[in-house]
Chain A
Amino acid sequence: MWEYTDKVTDHFKNPRNVGAVENPDGDGLAGSLACGDALRLTFKLDDQKKIDEAKFQTFGCASAIASSSALTVMLIGKTVEEAEEITNADIIAYLGELPKQKVHCSVMGREALEAAIYNFRTGKKLDRQIDGEVICHCFGATDKEIEKVTREQNLTSAEEVTNACKAGGGCGQCVPEIEAIINGVIAADAAKEEKPKLTQLQKIKLIEETIDRQVRPILRRDNGDLELHDVDGDRVLVKFVGACVSCPVSSVTLKDVVENQLREAVSDDIVVEAIS
């Protein structure tokens, strides 16, 4: 038997705002029959652009119903921009507490809210069903969903993923695949920390600095020099000047000195080409 807070029990037994708003401004669905819970959220704005009416229909357990009911109460009176700030943690905080295996109920609330706001802004339905490859067949969770929840909530174990979105909580066959996805996210984050992705402008500046500080002094020793002509993606175009112009080994200098220095300092993908 789950231990629910009085507030969860109250919102389950006396759910607020049940049903669907007529001619809604926003209409979003999260979850599915296959998942074992689903929530349709509809809302309508008043003249002040504030949410005047919000209603829910939920297929799910007591905490799914309570989370949905709580969400509608939290939405009423807010602008869409304010509503957009509501996270699943806010829903849990409103209810006091949810058992950790029930956290996914609040995540479903957040997802339905996203879907309803997307519908309000675009007039289109947000379709999550076909996004990615299904990893967890028990709950129909895809690799992209698992990756998203892992990244957003900084999850580090399959158990945490299960609590957040149910994936892996059924037969358990997909747990190794979920672990692989988690490891992928963690590795990608670690890689990002090592070499931050540069904007094109930052890249050009870094190339310029590297050439000035580490390349030109070497060439100048032999009365040579070069100028940075252009940067096109990872292609760096340089123009040899001075002694380098007539040097028979300038092509070796280009690869061994210029390209190597730039690859080490900027990116492994740099290719240097000389123009005349």
Chain B
Amino acid sequence: MNPTVYVDNNATTSVAPEVTEAILPYFTEHWGNPSSMHNFGGGVKRAIDAAREKVAALIGAEHPNEIIFTSCGSESDNMAIRGAVDAMGGHPHVITTRVEHAAVLGPCHYLEDKGFRLTTLEVDEKGGLDLDVIREKSMSGKKTVASIMWANNETGVIFPIPEIGAIVKEGGGIMHTDAVQIAGKLPINVKDTPIDSLSISGHKLHAPKGVGALYVRRGTKITPHIMGGHQERGRRAGTENVPYIVGLGKACELAVERMERDAEHERKLRDRLEAGILATCKGARINGDVGNRLPNTTNISFEYVEGEAILLMLDDVGICASTGSACASGSLEPSHVLRAMDVPRSCLHGSIRFSLGRYNTDEDVDYVLEKLPVIIKRLRELSPFAND
């Protein structure tokens, strides 16, 4: 059963019909092992190579074999960080930011526990980084491994990865970026960007869950974390997830074709949704740098109401969105991203992320704008703080 309105595309996207169509024959007809010597398997190998070229094309990689297929964005992040630290040897200095996805913070904290020096960069109230601090930290004399996201999943705020990469490379460090949210939404070109590795995830761009990729620039050393096979040129062992790799290739091909159109479509819907919410909901404010973010994302706080309550009431009328609110997660922690941005306490607990996608319509926005103000009004009436 499909929800009435799905505006949570940063969490996951639906599989594009073209992608499903491309995948199915690899379950029913072309189920051979790409490592086999016979032609039945060989055909499957060629399908993987074609998918690799399509992924390379989306991110502007010079050589298709710089793409390693993985099982998800989290695996790509883990492999990039731990693999680079391992290959570098010694005790490199690890640099990241407070607003990264858990798939980056997890391995960074693991390394810190193992005795590596970790610097976690602060952000300002708009969610931006201070490049001078990055310069100072990455020139500290020690070899560095930096992992800094390209676009934030909660706010959509974009970091200037070309500038940051240049600084890290100047200091002789390894630069990884988590591009899971930006890939397919805005043009990126790894060939001309001073980075060593980049993570993408299939299900954020209309491919299925369970497939991702890591770009590793030719010449960059990454120690593999799955060993015992020649697949992916020995950099990630294990028989390939052929249907999903084919699906990821197809999704990247579609993204290249449709990127400009989709971005414009999502931006129009997002801007109308955002303006409508600000006009009709009391105490609403946008979190993050509005002039510098993904075209599809808006993160809005509602003063004096709590995010989980909003989310459940939206869910009740068939609207799917997200909250970085404490109470919706197991941890109780209010969004680590909004906390890092020093969002006021009155707004910290009531943030909702709406993320638009290719298949959203004007009617979807109308429906949210019809339902949300009533919910916010109702919850404000319940709140002891919103008497004004």
Binding site for B on A (CB under 8 A): 2, 12-13, 15, 18, 29, 33-34, 36-40, 57-65, 101-102, 138-139, 162, 166, 169-171
Contacts and interface: CB of A to CB of B under 8 A. Distances in A.
B382 A15 contact: yes
Contacts of A169: 326, 331-333
Interface string B91-124: 0000000000000000000000000000000000
Contacts of B313: 13
A13 B327 contact: no
Contact of A171 (B333, B381, B382): B333
A214 B305 CA distance: 69
Given A18-B381, A57-B383, A58-B383, 10 more contacts: A13-B313, A33-B345, A57-B384, A60-B306, A60-B327, A62-B312, A64-B306, A139-B332, A169-B331, A169-B332
B349 interface: yes
B35 interface: no
A61 B345 contact: no
A162 B330 CA distance: 11
A139 B328 CA distance: 16
A18 B377 CA distance: 14
A61 B383 CA distance: 11
Interface of B: 304-309, 312-313, 316, 325-328, 330-334, 336, 339, 345-346, 348-349, 381-386
A61 B381 contact: no
A57 B334 contact: no
A57 B305 CA distance: 11
A138 B326 CA distance: 11
B312 A12 contact: yes
Nearest to A37: B306
A57 B383 CA distance: 5
Contact of B304 (A2, A59, A62, A171): A59
Nearest to B313: A13
A33 B349 CA distance: 9
Given A15-B382, A57-B384, A61-B306, A170 B312 contact: no
A166 B306 contact: no
A59 B345 CA distance: 13
Given A13-B316, A33-B345, A39 B332 contact: no
Nearest to B329: A101
24 contacts: A2-B328, A12-B312, A33-B346, A34-B345, A36-B306, A38-B384, A39-B384, A57-B383, A59-B306, A59-B383, A59-B384, A59-B385, A61-B306, A61-B308, A64-B327, A65-B309, A65-B382, A102-B327, A138-B334, A139-B332, A169-B326, A169-B333, A170-B326, A170-B332
B327 A38 contact: no
A174 to B, nearest CB: 12
Contacts of A39: 384
A15 B383 CA distance: 12
Given A60-B306, A62-B309, A36 B385 contact: no
B382 A18 contact: yes
Contacts of A171: 333, 336, 339
A58 B331 contact: no
A171 B316 CA distance: 31
A101 B383 contact: no
B1 to A, nearest CB: 15
A36 B334 contact: yes
A170 B335 CA distance: 9
Nearest to A162: B332
Given A12-B309, A13-B316, A58 B384 contact: yes
